[in-house]
Structure 1
Amino acid sequence: MNISFKNIASAAAVAILGTTAAAEELRIGTASLGGAFYPMGQSISNLVNEYAGNDITMVPIVTGGSVQNPNLIATGEVEIAITNNNLAVLATKGVGPYSAAGAIDIGAVAALHPSVLHMVVLADSDIQTFDDLRGKRVAVGPAGGGTLGFVNFLFPLHDMTVDDITPSFVSYSDGFSQLTDGTVDAALALSGFPSGAVMQAAAGNDLRFISFSEGMLDTAIEANGAYVAVEVPADVYDTTDAGMLIGVNNMLVAPNSLDAATVQAVTAAIFDNLDELKAENANARQIDPEMSRNLAIPLHAGAQAYFDAN
């Protein structure tokens, strides 16, 4: 007998929620374990399953992350997904990592938390700035994730390429485990904060943020207006100093072909119960509903209907 993951997830959702087999199941594309996208997707799924009505269920799916997720929507492997503002624009234009798929017809559902590029070493490391990564072993996240997109953007600004490091393409959890056991010299992770992978590493180790050389953060932000400077306070990971890092805002996206009433119900489940989401998910405390009215791509018709009414 062939039993797929989707069938198991559907059966579990039916058993838990008491819904019928006719319920519409939405798969939400997140990212690798250890980052912020998967727990965010899990928390959103919990709200949808509780409040969107018995005819809609949602399950979080582990994926390569923000770069891969629009492609998964295009191929029908997920019905809704988390990505960042910059990548959403590229996807709708069919350029960059989406040139093979062509323009992907997606709309924005909601603004979510920002992601920051965690650039982390053990506190006693001789790596001080991004330039010092040259010749080092670096965990850069999964091959389809947003971390590598940032790496490919930042390295040329530093007259470097990925060939100048020894990259380790692993999940954030595995990457920070490699950092603490000495397999890599540095670990990078594009994630909201606090990140589970970084928290786990910080539990038994003293960590430090890698800095940008003077003026390089400003140069990077000027090179791409979608990116922003984000300060991560020292008490987030018990580092000696705060980290001034580069980041990007994230959004929930769905194909414009997805039924508007379904998307409106999902949007309502999130924002009508935002306090509950914030109580369950630390990253959700950074969500500002007003940001959903001014995103880098147009709102999906269902999300537009929700925000027009609220």
Structure 2
Amino acid sequence: MKTHMLCALTLAASASIFAPAAMAEEYRIGTASVGGAFFPIGQGISNLVNKYGGGDITMVPIVTQGSVQNPRLVAQGEVEIGITNANLAADAVAGRGAYNGNAIDIKALGPLHPSVLHMVVADGSDIQSFADLAGKRVAVGPAGGGTMGFLNNILPVYGLTLDDITPSFLSYGDGFSQLSDGNVDAALALSGYPAAAVMQAAASGPLRMITMEDDKLQQILTDNPAYSTFDIAADVYDMPSDATVLGVTNMLIVPTDMAAEMAEKIAASVYDHLDEFAAENANARQIDPARAASLSIDLHDGAQAYFSK
């Protein structure tokens, strides 16, 4: 009897020793093309979650078409968390704009850095104003990226459509390489600053921002309340002068049905360690957690619990 009990205890102990540890659940964060700011931001967030998520969750950044596509990918379960712009998040929830009547069920996890609309030409270009893009070859970013959302709102203000330019749907890195090579006349990127793609192009030759007339800029801001203006100092890209550009606050989005405990854990992993994040990523220095109270869509319950502490 005792022998049988000893054998049973030995087998049970052996089973516990050799049983595999519980596998961490892998989450994917939808970013954008390589060369913009979203991919390295996604890498930094992944590193923080992997370090501080408690061991039962891992995260990897996924290259996507960007801000427009990411809400769809989150809703479809292709990624568990995504990065998008405030205006596109609001459009997605309302089913307007690029989402064409198909409302998307997502919530905000928290604010990120602002993205600004880089509209860049070689310093010697005859393109001065946005209006001068008519008839020009323009790298407009990937088809599903946030740049297109801005373009769709700016073009009508100037009486233009996408047919009035020759668009190239390229990653930001490729688009600005094409600008350096002279294969396009202008390159656009909705990105945090400094953007790697713009920095690389600036190293190949002097660049300049395209301007917009004050009345046109005010009309765009009035029509699009989620937009803001940001001042980019000349020394950021070694340009001839400072520039006032359009921009928008970025945010993290998650499915509405994500477990509240998981959403709170991810939020804590990121926002409890912003100093560490900022030390590795220049855009992370621009993250203001206070903006969680004024995002364009509702916070997830788990994020609300985190930011309410």
Greater Cα shift, 154-163 or 294-303: 294-303
- Superposition pairs for residues 19-168 of structure 1, below 5 Å? 22-99=23-100, 102-168=102-168
Shift of 1:99: 3.0
* Alignment-mate amino acid for residue 59 of structure 1: V
The alpha carbon displacement at 1:125 in A equals 0.5
Question: 1:231, 1:244 within 8 Å by CA — same for their partners in 2?
Answer: yes
Structure 1, 209-218 or 133-142: larger mean CA deviation: 209-218
Give 2:16's aligned residue.
none
Secondary structure of 1:175's aligned partner: helix
Say yes or no: does 1:296 pair with 2:289: no
Hey, what's the Cα distance between the residues in 2 that align with 1:278 and 1:119?
26
Q: 1:20 to 1:145 in 2, by over 3 A?
A: farther
Structure 1, unmatched stretches of 5+, are 1-18
The residue aligned with 1:198 is 198
After superposition, the C-alpha distances for 1:187-242 in whole angstroms (9 at most, x for unaligned) are 00000101010011011210000011242111211111111111111111010111
Equivalent residues in 2 for 1:156-305, closer than 5 Å: 156-305=156-305
Aligned residues: 290
Sequence identity percentage: 61
Output the TM-score relative to the length of structure 2: 0.92
Cα distance between partner residues in 1 of 2:125 and 2:294: 41
Q: Which has the larger radius of gyration?
A: 2
Q: Distance in 2 between matches of 1:40 and 1:277?
A: 9
- Give, as a single letter, the amino acid of the residue that structure 2 aligns with 1:159: G
Structure 2: give runs of 5+ residues left out of the alignment: 1-19
Q: Secondary structure at the match of 1:240?
A: coil
- Take 2:54 and 2:228, find their aligned partners in 1: how far apart are those partners? 37
Counterparts of 1:21 and 1:179, CA distance in 2: 50
Amino acid at match of 2:157: L
Corresponding residue SS for 2:201: helix
Contact 1:88–1:297 (8 Å) recurs in 2: yes
| Equivalent-residue separation in structure 2 for 1:86 and 1:196 (angstroms) | 23
1:248-289 Cα deviation digits (max 9, x unpaired): 111101001111111111100111111001111100111111
Counterpart CA distance in 2 for 1:92 and 1:239 is: 38
* Aligned-partner Cα distance in 1 for 2:47–2:200: 24
1:131–1:213 Cα contact (<8 Å) kept: no
CA shift at 1:20, angstroms?
Answer: 5.0
What letter corresponds to residue 61 of structure 2 in structure 1?
P
Deviation at 1:308, TM superposition (A): 1.5
> Is 2:141–2:170's contact at 8 Å kept on the other side of the alignment?
yes
- For 1:49 and 1:293, locate their aligned partners in 2 and report how far apart those are by CA, in whole Å: 26
Partner of 1:11: none
Q: Is the 8 A contact 2:98 2:149 kept in 1?
A: no
Q: How far 1:21 moved relative to its partner?
A: 6.1
Q: Distance in 2 between matches of 1:21 and 1:161?
A: 54
